[in-house]
Structure 1
Amino acid sequence: MIPADETFDRTWPYPPHFTEAAGFRQHYVDEGPRDGGGAVVFLHGEPTWGYLWRHLIGPLSRERRVIVPDHMGFGKSATPADRTYLAGEHIDNLEALLVDVLDLHDITLVMHDWGGPIGTGFALRHPGRIARVFATNTVLPLGLPGYDKLMAENFADSHWFRWASAAHANGTLEQTLGGAGSSVTHLMLALQTITRPQHITPTWVRAYAAHFTDRAACQGVLRFPQQLVAPDPDVTPAPPDLDAVAALRAKPAVLVEGMRDTALLPRYVIPAFQLAYPDAPVIELADTGHFPSEDAPETLLALLHLFLQTT
């Protein structure tokens, strides 16, 4: 767990907030006006934390309330030893924060990577609290026909998932991800793709590696891919409520897609999004990889501003 007061050479100037509502010490950022008519909630994925959104938090919070949680096992949140770290558990944690602690309504979900499934799971439980959906290089599992086929094709084709599957088969997945403090830059730069490597400074590396101090601190970063390459046959997610799916599909939505992503491939992610939102805009960023907020933060911020203003 990263120390609460760590700013990484002032690149992360946001005061920390903590809650134990979900049974562990969870960190979140809470910036901006409380009477701004709803909140923008940023959800990170693998192997990042709230630092992923650092360029967007400050400008956006001048006008709107901004909430940025760190998932269990990432960033400044704790890594309890007695948890499964399955997606459903992360959804429970998000629900405890957004509903029980903050009681948020009129939420704009901004989701990246595993933030998409986690945010979608929360939204299906509370569609009335969701105002709009902003997806970037992620997927939104709503149980629609054709989605599983697209995800299976991505799994077979993706550089990241082919590596994870092979590493699981030969026994090196836990070794590599259990040492994420040393391997996180390679995971992000090579297996998921960052197209502006000049941004990878010593401070940047330290920020993304800092949580993963030892094997015990790497449960979160390991379990995300592990539950896909080695799913528990006894864990079968319940199908989503059809009324909740319909309510969520009626919300304004947009996909901003970094087209050089080598983890979630655009040729599968875009049609998967369009299954749910056939009339919603899809904005392709040609020279951006898996992390648009790293490769093109100014563009992503402008698109988010536009989306908020026009919906």
Structure 2
Amino acid sequence: MPAEKVGGIPFGWQEITRILGWMPALQEVCVAYNELGDLPDPETQLGSRLTALLRKLTEVDLTGTGQTCFKRILDVLGPSASLTSLVLNANRIHEMRIPENEIVLPALTQLTLRDNLINDWGSINALARLPSLENLIISQNPILSSTTPETARQELIARVPKVQMLNRQEVERDERRGAELDFLKRYGKAWAIAEKSGEESKAAFEKQFPSFKLLCDKHGAPESGETKSVIRALKEGLLELTMFCEPVPVSGPNEIVKRIPARMTVNHLRTLARRLFRIPMTATIDLFTSGARPGVDEIEIPLDSDTRELGFFGIINGDRLIARWSGE
């Protein structure tokens, strides 16, 4: 049923189609908080006319208009090469499915889905198929209440790897790295089991965690449980290490003696070094260790696997750690 404006004047998709037809140069439209219902089927006469008009726009705001079917939204707007911003706040969308072998919304950089009914990670995975998506707002959806806020944010970052701004907060490089590595660890055991259980299990895992392989290619696969248990005994306790920064940072120290858990990962050590030495967030940091033992004091060993713990590299008390950074 069409919504009613003040004074009882009917206002629905037919009226919106007529108004859009009067303004051929219009680029943005907002029809927020009108209970219009789902967009009309593009196969109908009204839907065909409205679809042609909406696909010319760069920004569409359908907040609080009673949208329930994400597929219908894709049917109408999916082929648009103009749309860069789509706002779908305060609707009743339960799930989102995006075709795997079809490019939809190719120019969309901003998508807002706050306060809907999305309750499955498969819908989040689907958003990774939007080729230009950088800015995502998806707070106040049931799926995010299934875990802690911190873990939910990590899941979103790892499952939609191209997003640069998430729920109005920039995804910084160190946060992304940490979220992706924690994601690999969180599901590493399930991945290892699937790898050993045949093609059907592998396919099921890849469907449930489609970004996992991409993150493995980026950071390296998680250690196997067997290797992890053997190494763990060698890693307990704290190591007292001397950390150096090269070149000397402008505002921070260049040498620090620090007690560090032997089970700290290389990725978390990099984050620690950035904070301790006040290295700029945009700088690239490479980590090296050189031993305090006879015959190895001049040898630098690169810490070149972000998912490995320090114990893997045979680091012992008294060794040196060098944080070598470049760029700003």
TM-score (norm 1): 0.29
Bigger radius of gyration, 1 or 2? 2
Query: If each structure's helix is expressed as a fraction of its own residues, which one has the higher value?
Result: 1
